[in-house]
Amino acid sequence: MSETKQILEIKSPKSGAYREDITGNPMECSKCNGMGWTWTFDSGFHRERKDCPLCNGTGYVKPKITIEWEPDNQHKR
């Protein structure tokens, strides 16, 4: 089965930015397989459809990545 991958190339900043927030492309939720819901059981063992807790019922999730840059004090010149 084929699979989609997103690759992030990290390069040191040329400006004074010490923090970067990156949001990736939306992907199908792996918990509910893009349906937006999952089966759960109530106290009487009856099946119920509930919104997926990972995607909140949308069927899609997106990665949010934060990069914080700091000096490497071990490699002084």
Q: Tally the residues of the chain.
A: 77
Q: Amino acid identity of 18?
A: Y
Q: Which residue has the tokens 């397989």?
A: 33
Q: Answer yes or no: are the C-beta atoms of 32 and 38 closer than 8 Å.
A: yes
Using the predicted structure, report yes or no on whether residue 1 has a pLDDT greater than 70: no
> Rounded to two decimals, what is the model's pTM?
0.68
Q: Residue 3: is its pLDDT beyond 80? A: no
Question: pLDDT tens, 6-25?
Answer: 888 998 888 777 899 999 99
